[in-house]
Structure 1
Amino acid sequence: MNFANYDALSFDCYGTLIDWEAGIAAVLAPWASEAGLDLSDEQLLLAYADNEAEAEREWPTALYPTILANAFRRTGHDLGVNVSRQWAARLGDSVPSWPAFPDSPAALRSLAEDYELIILSNVHREGFAGSNVRLDVEFDRIITAEDVGAYKPAANHFDALDATLDEMGIPRERLLHVAQSLFHDHVPAKRHGLDSVWINRRHDRPGWGATPEPSGDFSYSVVYPSMAAFAHAARKPR
């Protein structure tokens, strides 16, 4: 890619910059153990994935902690085990504690030297504020599900992104979208006519994990296994 063609980068956060699978599994695994379920973290994430996407479609204006709690209850129902109010709240409140991928902070600091950085995330403002402390970078704009009243892959985030680019004076063809999730990000990015880069965080693991299989057409210009690799490739000559 010719990264000189771009002035701004928009990022999915959870799955790309923050390890949401580790964060979710940190709650699901002890719940499953307490319930006597002999399931691996990967099996639990697979059971969970579609339930979160369904909750987001059904309650697009609900804050993310409510989505997490509802998805957890649905997952328990599918597995034949009740999820108590306490366990549901534990997952709902866990977002600020989810770890950043180790390479995310340094990669973002490097990219911030050359690009405007925009967050495009399926989360609430309070949750992202906790994650931003872990990412240790100042984003130029932040767009959350709470702001747009919907969850990706709905178009709302990308419509808001267009308005944000207009405010920033950046032509949309000068923006590159960067994300892990084909389902949440690369499908709507293609629909919206945006160039994108796939950060394939699961390159060393089979399956989709906590992310549903993509249900529409998607494309991406190039794939990197990590934010570190992407930041190295995207650094502009000094």
Structure 2
Amino acid sequence: MTDFNQYKALTFDCYGTLIDWENGILGVLKPLLLAHNTNLDDAQILELFAEFEAELEKGDYYIKYREVLKRVVQKFGERFGFEPTADELNSLADSIQHWLPFPDTIEALKTLKQKFKLVIISNVDDDLFAFSAKHLQVEFDQIITAEQAKSYKPSLNNFRLAIERIDLPLDQILHVAASVYHDIVTAKSLGLSTVWVNRRAVQKRLNTIGSAISQPNLEVPDLKTLAALSSAK
């Protein structure tokens, strides 16, 4: 059983963990694709998004996340034979300001804030996260973005930058995330304890946990459960 008393800081992935990014993505891409006579189901859209995003983030040089999202839309056009308009190319990045937290996120963060330092480690630009920070309604002790790290998770670089800024022993930091690929494997490889927030069954299919290095210390279905466990006597 995880002993929450040993931790002083919780680090969080943001999109998919705190913010409902799947509905945000689908709210943009589904009508965009339909406008170009392309009818895909939700799972197909999300899988293609993940494929295109990972390819772009693994590039030989860093590009801002706004540009990543622009190129993701372009790749949908290339895959399905249409040319996105300028507004469509910017539509994903422009929509982030409207992406909302999961229903349990805000209250859970407020509860956790009473006991822990809260830190963000997110694959995003500073200005884009600023929109999300307003929705999350808590003050984070540190915010580490891909723009600051000049790299994208699962790069070790993003986590090392966070660890340096938090300035606590590794055994006092607990990383909380929905993505095994982007977060859990890398965090564990650096010696951090991890919590996998497995919000949806589809995530279980997409985040196959095989090797020991990818096994989280704790799995929870949502942040409400994590907050309750951390407060239990």
TM value normalised by structure 1: 0.91
Q: Residue 215 of structure 2: which of 187, 201, 219 is its match?
A: 219
**Structure 1 residue 203, shift from structure 2 partner:** 3.1
In structure 2, the CA distance between the partners of 1:188 and 1:19, relative to structure 1 (3 Å rule), is same
**Structure 1 residue 215, shift from structure 2 partner:** 9.9
In structure 2, the CA distance between the partners of 1:30 and 1:214, relative to structure 1 (3 Å rule), is farther
The question of whether the paired residues in 2 share the 8 Å contact of 1:21 and 1:45 is answered with yes
Which whole-Å CA distance do the structure 2 matches of 1:117 and 1:70 have between them? 32
Q: How does 1:80-159 map to 2 (within 5 A)?
A: 80-159=81-160
The question of whether the paired residues in 2 share the 8 Å contact of 1:14 and 1:20 is answered with yes
Identity of aligned residues (%): 38
In structure 2, the CA distance between the partners of 1:4 and 1:22, relative to structure 1 (3 Å rule), is same
Which whole-Å CA distance do the structure 2 matches of 1:215 and 1:90 have between them? 36
1:173 match: 171
Are 1:232 and 2:221 an aligned pair?
Answer: no
2:42 match: 41
- The alignment partner of 2:10 has SS state of strand
The C-alpha deviation readout for 1:31-56, integer Å capped at 9, x for no partner, is 11111122122221112111001111
- The alignment partner of 2:176 has SS state of strand
**Structure 1 residue 232, shift from structure 2 partner:** 0.7
Which whole-Å CA distance do the structure 2 matches of 1:80 and 1:40 have between them? 18
- The alignment partner of 2:214 has SS state of coil
User: Which range moved further: 81-90 or 198-207?
Assistant: 198-207
Aligned pair count reads 231
Question: Which structure 1 residue ranges, 4+ long, deviate > 4 Å from structure 2?
Answer: 212-217
In the alignment, structure 2 segments of 5+ residues that lack a partner are none
**Structure 1 residue 85, shift from structure 2 partner:** 2.3
**Structure 1 residue 190, shift from structure 2 partner:** 1.7
In the alignment, structure 1 segments of 5+ residues that lack a partner are none
**Structure 1 residue 165, shift from structure 2 partner:** 2.2
Which whole-Å CA distance do the structure 1 matches of 2:181 and 2:160 have between them? 17
**Structure 1 residue 81, shift from structure 2 partner:** 3.1
**Structure 1 residue 99, shift from structure 2 partner:** 1.3
TM value normalised by structure 2: 0.93
Which AA in structure 1 matches 2:73?
F
Larger fraction in helix? 2
In structure 2, the CA distance between the partners of 1:35 and 1:63, relative to structure 1 (3 Å rule), is same
Q: Residue 201 of structure 1: which of 180, 196, 199 is its match?
A: 199
- The alignment partner of 1:9 has SS state of strand
Which whole-Å CA distance do the structure 1 matches of 2:76 and 2:210 have between them? 20
Which AA in structure 1 matches 2:219?
V
Q: Which has the higher contact order (CA 8 A, sep 6+)?
A: 1
